[in-house]
Amino acid sequence: MGGVVSAGVDNDDLVDKLKEADYIKTENVEKIFRLVDRGCYMTKDSQSIAYRDNAWRNGNLHISAPCIYAQVMEGLKLGPGMSFLNLGSGTGYLSTMAGLIIGPTGINHGVELHGDVVEYARERLAWFLANTGSVDVSFFCEPQFSQGNALCIKEEKMLYDRVYCGASCPSSHENYMKNLIKVNGILVMPRNDKLLKIVRTGENSWCTESLLPVSFSSLIMPDNSLTAEEVELPSVNLISLQELSREAIRKHFRDCIEKENESLKKAFIYIIPPKPSPKSRKTPMSCLNGNHPKVAMSDTENDTDDSEARDGEWERLSSSQSLHESMHSAFLELARSFINRGTRETSDGNNDLVEEQEGEEECGSRG
């Protein structure tokens, strides 16, 4: 499954290498990995290691290795309008990527044990929405994060199209996890040192596939000595017909713009990428080598070497790219054409009506 891949000098470079190593396989997954810069979900003092294929941890904050997330996103096969539940949602990095695929008609829930991490995820989400640049947030499903133990979700829960669990599931709760998904739904979770893709084929039947050998920390079990506090997930509100119509119109405009301006289809980078540094070290990523199936990816690795931090890295990552001028121009031009066409049609209709009325008056005067 690909050979050893070196670390990226920036987010784009990392994505290129994951794609070359066949961890990223589909255009949709490639697009969202480029849209959501991994470095923006790590702390300022960790920017020098943001684009290595290692798990990152800082206190309670945690992000899995990029190759693991690539396998997760490919395995989930997310699509527009789906419902998604992220157990152990952490910084919100994965949930943000999911939200760009499922879109405004989807459902995007996350459950995180630590309150400080939930606040961090909400702050990063606010930053993303304020600095998205050429990302159209009207086509984004905002994640909703809840604090609590992922093993304590209320029994009268809704079922989801897609579920990801970011920690190893104990054997005693395997059925609990499986029953979070609808029939034909997909659950991706680590168990027994494997990243599993589980498809629910019937009310009481599942099909399991191993995606990757991994090493994850285990989910924290609820304290049996106390009454575990149940996690109540956000309520789901139906989208109004007006909102659905608005999204359909936006999509129509965007499709027309992209059809007439092919180059805009690839204009989806919202962060100004830092220039590659000549001193950047090409550290090999600890990706799984297909020739050594027993080598597992570790999700608990803690790499905090900041000796190669680039000057101004955080400032560059925190700066947002301006909205794509050509896309705005194309949108305005298309909107004007629709308005002008409607005005002409209305004007022509009014002229026909006036001529018809004048003809009737002339006939009446003759009569």
What pLDDT digit, counting tens, does each position of 263-306 carry? 665 544 333 333 344 444 333 333 333 343 444 556 665 544 44
| Per-domain boundaries in the chain | 11-241+270-318
Q: Pick the catalytic residue: 46, 64, 89, 168?
A: 64
Q: Which CATH code for domain 11-241+270-318?
A: 3.40.50.150
pLDDT per residue over 183-211, tens digit each? Answer: 999 999 999 999 999 999 999 999 999 99
pLDDT per residue over 1-20, tens digit each? Answer: 333 466 888 999 999 999 99
Q: How confident is the model at residue 249 (pLDDT cuts 50, 70, 90)?
A: confident
Distance CA 271, CA 262 (A): 21
Under a CB-based contact definition with an 8 Å cutoff, are residues 177 and 165 in contact?
yes
215 is catalytic: no
Give Cβ neighbours of residue 77 (< 8 Å, ≥ 6 apart): 162, 186
Under a CB-based contact definition with an 8 Å cutoff, are residues 288 and 67 in contact?
yes
HSE-CB at 103 with a 13 A cutoff on CA atoms is 15
- Region 158-183: mean pLDDT is 95
Q: How confident is the model at residue 159 (pLDDT cuts 50, 70, 90)?
A: very high
> What is the per-residue pLDDT for 265?
56
pTM score, whole prediction: 0.72
